[in-house]
């Protein structure tokens, strides 16, 4: 008999971890840092292949420690001062001199970043050549998942998940079956309720971490200043001091700071820092208004992260739709609904209300404007949970809502993954045109 509870805890430990900076450029920096370590000499030539989704999300986003945006500075920082052993906090140890050196690297040396013709959502290949050595590094499926390492002719790691034919548009790597393919929402919630607090206590670290960056965004106008603006609007009486406003304000402020490249880590969820903000901070807002025990908070967070992961299992790690809007906010809605009354029907209702609401929100890359989307997502999360608590939720066979919540999630996955592939390419084309990328 499978131990589902143990597997869910292991999944939480694997998918809820600190990250510094937007995870797409950070993953590229991580791959570059590892490749430079393997090369162990000055770089003469470089080639970095990234999946279209990585390319899109890294194009316009702030990078911690520098005022510059985008993948090229992330690549340079990985080369100059990245330490691969730090994982998704690979950029944390760079000092000011290394950042200046990285900026000079971008200005004086060629960095060859090429969108790979692959349907894989997370794919990064770094090929380096020096005077005496070569190095190849491949990350795939998850932002910190190395699947192939090679120095000269010696293969140091080969998980069997990388094949050169992956870099062909027609080839789609088969999706591996996970626990999320064989469980359901009720089983997830029931197992979380039985979890030992000590096993999931670490999830509370995400509250402190994400609140620290939210407080920065509230006290300093970073990025667009969405959270800062909501705070000011509340003080001036344009917005009320209620649960929805609190959730919007905290989540947006944290995203403002993160997308601006403020050098503070966040607790990520399922490979994304913004997912972590959206999965955690609406629950923090609820706790601020209706205080909970640490154990209940940890279990609500576990439900949030796991429901987020359940949805991402079908929509894909990265997609043409905003994962914060369709996945992480749905996770936090489920967690808040659980805190409200533990009613599984209300939890399912909150999830389906979210799917009916924000399923069409596009992802046009990581950037300052994400704070607006996270604000909307946080508000919808609270709204969906409140409405579901009253016993009201979208009926079956309403749009993409199916007969069961799991069917609704799978339908969302079909729309997000299969249905919007052309949309994703059009979004990238538009962004390239705007940014004059040839």
pLDDT tens for each residue of the chain, 438 residues long: 469 999 999 999 999 999 988 899 999 999 999 999 999 999 999 999 999 999 999 988 999 999 999 999 999 999 999 999 999 999 989 999 999 999 999 999 999 999 998 888 899 999 999 999 999 999 999 999 999 999 999 999 999 888 765 554 434 455 678 899 999 999 999 999 999 999 999 999 999 999 999 999 999 999 999 999 999 999 999 999 999 999 999 999 999 999 999 999 999 999 899 999 999 999 999 999 999 999 999 999 999 999 999 999 999 888 889 999 999 999 999 999 999 999 999 999 999 999 999 998 999 989 999 999 999 999 999 999 999 999 999 999 999 999 999 999 999 999 988 888 888 889 888 988 887 754
**Number of residues assigned to the chain:** 438
Torsion of CA 14, 16, 22, 28, to 10 degrees: -10
At residue 167, the pLDDT reads: 55
Bridge partners, 134 (sequence order): 129
Q: Which domain holds residue 95?
A: 22-166
- Domain for residue 414, yes or no? yes
What pLDDT was estimated at residue 166?
53
What's the rounded Cα separation, in Å, for the pair 369 and 169? 30
> Looking at the structure, do residues 192 and 102 belong to the same domain, yes or no?
no
CATH number at residue 43: 3.30.1330
370 burial (CB, 10 Å; 0-12 / 13-18 / 19+) is: buried
Supply angle C-alpha 354, 359, 362, rounded to 5: 135
Residues 204 and 340 in one domain: yes
* CA–CA gap between residue 163 and residue 116 (Å, rounded): 13
How high is the pLDDT of residue 317?
84
Whether residue 369 sits in one domain with residue 416: yes
Both 158 and 264 in one domain: the answer is: no
Same domain, 269 and 363: yes
Residue 91 in contact with residue 65, Cβ under 8 Å? yes
How, if at all, do strands 45-50 and 113-115 pair?
parallel
Token code pair at residue 66: 């520098």
- Does 252 lie in the same domain as 106? no
pLDDT at 169 (0 to 100)? 41
* Tokens 């970073």 -> residue: 222
* Residue 311 domain-assigned (yes or no): yes
My answer on whether 69 and 214 are in the same domain is: no
The last residue of one of the domains, among 166, 197, 230, is 166
Yes or no: say if 223 and 260 are a contact pair by the CB < 8 Å rule: yes
Contacts of 243 (CB under 8 A, 6+ apart): 285, 286, 289, 382, 386
CATH code of the domain containing 293: 1.10.4100
- Residue 142 and residue 243 in one domain: no
- Asked whether residue 270 is domain-assigned, the answer is yes
Residue 43 lies in a domain: yes
Of 135, 166, 197, the residue that ends a domain is: 166
Domain boundary among 136, 166, 196: 166
SS in 3 state form for the chain? Answer: CCCHHHHHHHHHHHHCCEECCCHHHHHHHHHHHHHHHHHCCCCCEEEEEECHHHHHHHCCCECCCCCCECHHHHHHHHHHHCCHHHHHHCCCCCCHHHHHHHHHHHHHCCCCEEECCCCCCCEEEEEEECCCCEEEEEEECCCCCEEEEEECCEEEEECCCCCHHHCCCCCCCCCCCCHHHCCCHHHHHHHHHCCCHHHHHHHHHHHHHHHHHHHHHHHCCCCCCHHHHHHHHHHCCCCCCCHHHHHHHHHHHHHHHHHCCCCCCEECECCEHHHHHHHHHHHHHHHHHCCCCHHHHHHHHHHHHHHHHHHHHHHCCCCCECHHHHHHHHHHHHHHHHHHHCCHHHHHHHHHHHHHHHCCCECCCCCCCHHHHHHHHHHHHHHHHHHHHCCCCCCCCECCECCCHHHHHHHHHHHHHHCCHHHHHHHHHHHHHHCCCC
Q: Residue 393 domain-assigned? A: yes
Specify the pLDDT at position 257: 96
> What distances in angstroms separate CA 185 from CA 198, 340, 354, 366, one per listed residue?
23, 17, 15, 29
- Structural domain count of the chain: 2
Q: Are strands 154-158 and 134-140 parallel, antiparallel or unpaired?
A: unpaired
């Amino acid at each position: 008999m499978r131990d589902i509870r143990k597997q869910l805890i292991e999944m939480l430990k694997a998918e809820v971890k600190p990250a510094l900076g937007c995870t797409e450029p950070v993953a590229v920096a991580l791959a570059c840092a590892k490749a430079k370590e393997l090369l162990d000499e000055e770089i003469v030539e470089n080639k970095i292949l990234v999946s279209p989704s990585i390319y899109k999300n890294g194009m316009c986003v702030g990078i911690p420690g520098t005022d510059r945006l985008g993948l090229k500075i992330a690549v340079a920082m990985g080369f100059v001062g990245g330490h691969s052993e730090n994982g998704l906090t690979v950029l944390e140890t760079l000092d000011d001199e290394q950042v200046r050196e990285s900026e000079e690297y971008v200005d004086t040396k060629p960095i060859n970043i090429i969108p790979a013709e692959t349907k894989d959502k997370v794919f990064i290949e770094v090929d380096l050549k020096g005077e005496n050595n070569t190095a190849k590094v491949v990350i795939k499926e998850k932002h910190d998942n190395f699947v192939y390492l090679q120095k000269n002719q010696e293969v140091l790691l080969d998980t069997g998940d990388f094949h050169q034919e992956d870099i062909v548009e027609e080839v789609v790597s088969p999706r591996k079956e996970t626990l999320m393919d064989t469980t359901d929402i009720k089983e997830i919630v029931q197992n979380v309720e039985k979890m030992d607090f000590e096993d999931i206590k670490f999830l509370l670290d995400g509250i402190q971490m994400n609140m620290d960056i939210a407080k920065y965004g509230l006290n300093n106008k970073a990025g667009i200043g969405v959270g800062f603006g909501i705070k000011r609007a509340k003080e001036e009486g344009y917005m009320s001091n209620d649960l929805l406003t609190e959730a919007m304000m905290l989540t947006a402020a944290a995203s403002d700071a993160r997308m601006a490249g403020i050098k503070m880590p966040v607790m990520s969820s399922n490979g994304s820092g913004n997912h972590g903000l959206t999965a955690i901070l609406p629950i923090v807002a609820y706790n601020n208004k209706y205080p909970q025990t640490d154990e209940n908070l940890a279990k609500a967070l576990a439900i949030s992260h796991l429901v987020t992961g359940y949805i991402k299992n079908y929509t894909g790690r990265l997609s043409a739709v905003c994962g914060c809007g369709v996945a992480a906010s749905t996770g936090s809605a489920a967690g808040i609904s659980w805190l409200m009354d533990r009613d599984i029907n209300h939890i399912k209702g909150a999830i389906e209300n979210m799917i009916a609401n924000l399923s069409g929100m596009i992802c046009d890359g990581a950037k300052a404007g994400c704070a607006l989307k996270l604000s909307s997502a946080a508000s919808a999360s609270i709204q969906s949970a409140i409405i579901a608590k009253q016993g009201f939720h979208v009926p079956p066979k309403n749009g993409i809502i199916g007969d069961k919540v799991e069917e609704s999630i799978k339908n969302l996955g079909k729309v997000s993954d299969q249905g919007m592939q052309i949309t994703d390419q059009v979004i990238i084309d538009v962004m390239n045109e705007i940014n004059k990328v040839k």
